[in-house]
Amino acid sequence: MSAAAPAPTMTRPIRVVVAKAGLDGHDRGAKVVARALRDAGMEVIYTGVHQTPEQVVETALQEDADAVGLSLLSGAHNYILPRIAELMRQKKMDDVLLFGGGIIPEDDIPGLAKVGVERVFLPGASLEEIVAYVRAAVAKRRGTT
């Protein structure tokens, strides 16, 4: 937490950056999830499409985000997600949750988990499930920091 920010309390709303990285333009899922998180009382920053991993991490840093959610449907997840995780480590954003969703083969999920992508939502996941997960995962992180 930066020194200038007001003292964090348990009531500070969860801030989530919902991002689309790479050239992938499929943004229906990202926008629906962004809406659902906002309706659930979170502060949501949606990046728009075609962000570089560097831009996503910069946005998360500037917005003092609790969580970063990536939506990937282009098949580039094995490059983009590890790259974002790496940049987040470099920026010492260890307290920020990184999760993803989209068209990602199940076989790729263990590899992504290893580099720090805590959870991957696959097609068919409900909005309720995603909202509940973000709430619980952020609470857990806040509790331990």
Partner 1 sequence: MARETRRRPNAKSSSKREWTSETYAPAVERVPERQAKHETLSWEEIAPLYTTEDLPGFDYAERLGYPGEFPFTRGVQPSLYRGRLWTMRQFAGFGAPEDSNARFHYLLSQGVTGLSVAFDMPCLMGRDPDDPLSRGEVGREGVSMASLADMEVLFDRIPLDEVTTSMTINGPAAIVWALYLANAEKRGIALDRLGGTIQNDALKEYIAQREWIVPERAAMKLVVDTFEFGSRQVPKWNTISVSGYHIREAGASATQELAFTLLDGLEYVKWGVARGLDVNEFVPRISFFFDVHNDFFEEVAKFRAARRIWAREIERRYHPTNERALMLRTHAQTAGVSLTAQQPYNNVVRVTLQALAAVLGGTQSLHTNSLDETYALPTKEAVTLALRTQQIIAHESGVTDTVDPLGGSYYVEHLTDVMERAFDAYRAKVESFGGMVEAVERGFPQREITESSFRFQREVDAGERVVVGINKFAIDEEAPIPLLRIDPEVEKRQIARVQKVRADRDPARWTAAMNALRDAAKRDQNLMPHFLEGARCYATVGEMTGVLKEVYGVYRDPGYF
One residue of 76, 93, 115, 137 binding partner 1 per CB under 8 A: 76
Residue 41 vs 48, nearer CB to partner 1: 48
Whole-angstrom CA distances from 136 to 18, 21, 24, 34, 65 are 17, 25, 29, 17, 15
Residues in the chain: 145
126 contacts partner 1 (rule: CB under 8 A): yes
One residue of 50, 89, 114, 140 binding partner 1 per CB under 8 A: 50
49 contacts partner 1 (rule: CB under 8 A): yes
Strands 15-19 and 67-72 come out as parallel
Query: Which segment (8-16, 68-76, 91-99, 134-142) binds partner 1 by CB under 8 A?
Result: 68-76
Q: Tell the burial category of 144 from Cβ atoms under 10 Å away from its Cβ (0-12, 13-18, 19+).
A: exposed
3-state secondary structure of 100: strand
62 contacts partner 1 (rule: CB under 8 A): no
* Binding footprint of partner 1 on the chain (CB under 8 A): 22-28, 30-32, 34-36, 44, 46-50, 52, 74-76, 78-80, 103, 105-106, 122-124, 126-128
